[in-house]
Structure formats: structure tokens, C-alpha cells
Amino acid sequence: MFVSPAIRPAHRKVFEGVASRHEMYALFNRHSRSPFDDDRMNGTRYVGEWFEITEADHDHMFEIFVPLFWRGDMFAISEFLAASITSLFFALTIDDRSRWFHGYCDLSDRQSPDRMRSEIIARESRPVRAMSAQEKLDHIWSTTGPDFRGYADNRWPADLRNRQIVLVYPSAQGKIWKLLDDLTDEEIAAKLPVQFRHLDETIAA
């Protein structure tokens, strides 16, 4: 079920549900073992990813980091992840309910924070809870332990190297590494939490 990077949404929800503080820090580090290639060095690997957090963690991050800017319902921190990529935190009202989010934006594009804000609101205002195919893969990657996920190395064909891989357990083969994008529907269902397996699937996030 390969999803071409060329058709992946510019802004992507990478975790379903509200992240706990432990989960939030794990999500900050979801690419910590990625190769030091151009995508990591220039921040492309991170930019556009977002997820929901608690009010307490939103306020905690505001207290421990010096904001680069703070306007209305969002603030950016002054510590850049890579190039012009940094963390933005949002306090949004969606369907008359207060919610809080973190995302990575490229501040070389001055409109990117407002676009992310708009896309989060649009995504979270859907009347029916659903996950796109890409969101399911991103959630699996986000919640898989570091010993059970990795990146294709020189043992893989050259055109597949540096792509995300995860361990799967086909009954006849014990365990094997497989490209995240190539997981079958059955393998995706097995790796998703039970409450997410039967959500309606959307075409795009």
C-alpha cells in the first residue's frame, strides 16, 4: 500500500488521539534515528507533521521555551529543528471545544503557520471520525517502539534505502522487516489499536 511522497498531504496528522506527555516527547523524536540525509538536514522529513496534545503540555512548552513569536492562538519556539523548521503550538476552538496541537512549520514560508492552523481545524471539524491511509501508516510509525522500526540500509536495493521499515510477523516466516508503505490492509489492522481498526477511511487528511 505504497503512498508516494509526491501525493502525501503538505500537513499530516501523525498520531490519532490526544498525546500524553510521554507520547508527546516520543513524537518529537519519531525521526531521531533517521539517516542524516538531505530530508533530515533541511527539515523536510519533519515539516507539516502535527498532532494533538493536552492543555497542560501546551502551557508547559510555553513556559520552558522562549517564544519566537506569539500571536492570537499560536506561538512558535525560537529553537529551530533544522534550517527554518520549528515547533508551533496552537490553542484552537473547534466545534465549541478548546483543543491544543503541536506542528512543525517551515517559517521561510510566512503563510505556513496560518495554513497549518486552517488545515488542523478543517481536519478536526469532520462530522465523522475517520483516518486516511497515510494517517494510519503515520500512527503505526509513531507508536511503534524504536527496536521495531527503522530505515532501509545497504542490505536493501538502492532505490529503497532510507525508507521507513517495520517488523511484521507473518505466521510462516517468524518475523521480517517490511517497508511501512507496503503493509497490507491486514498488517495495518494488526498494528493499529483496536479502536482505530474500523474507522472509516478518507481519501486524504
Does residue 100 share a domain with residue 159? no
Q: In terms of Cα–Cα distance, which of 10, 154, 31, 13 is closest to 90?
A: 13
Does residue 74 share a domain with residue 10? yes
Total domain count, the chain: 2
Cell numbers at residue 191, please?
498494528
Distance CA 69, CA 76 (A): 6
Does residue 114 share a domain with residue 166? no
Could you say which of 81, 112, 128 is where a domain stops?
A: 128
Amino acid 9: pLDDT: 61
Does residue 96 share a domain with residue 163? no
Cell numbers at residue 16, please?
490519532
Does residue 118 share a domain with residue 70? yes
Could you say which of 110, 128, 146 is where a domain stops?
A: 128
Does residue 95 share a domain with residue 45? yes
Q: What is the mean pLDDT of the chain?
A: 90
Does residue 78 share a domain with residue 135? no
pLDDT value at 6 more than 80: no
pLDDT value at 56 more than 90: yes
- pLDDT tens-digit readout, 154-194: 999 999 999 999 999 877 768 899 999 999 999 999 999 88
The boundaries of the domain holding residue 187 are 131-202
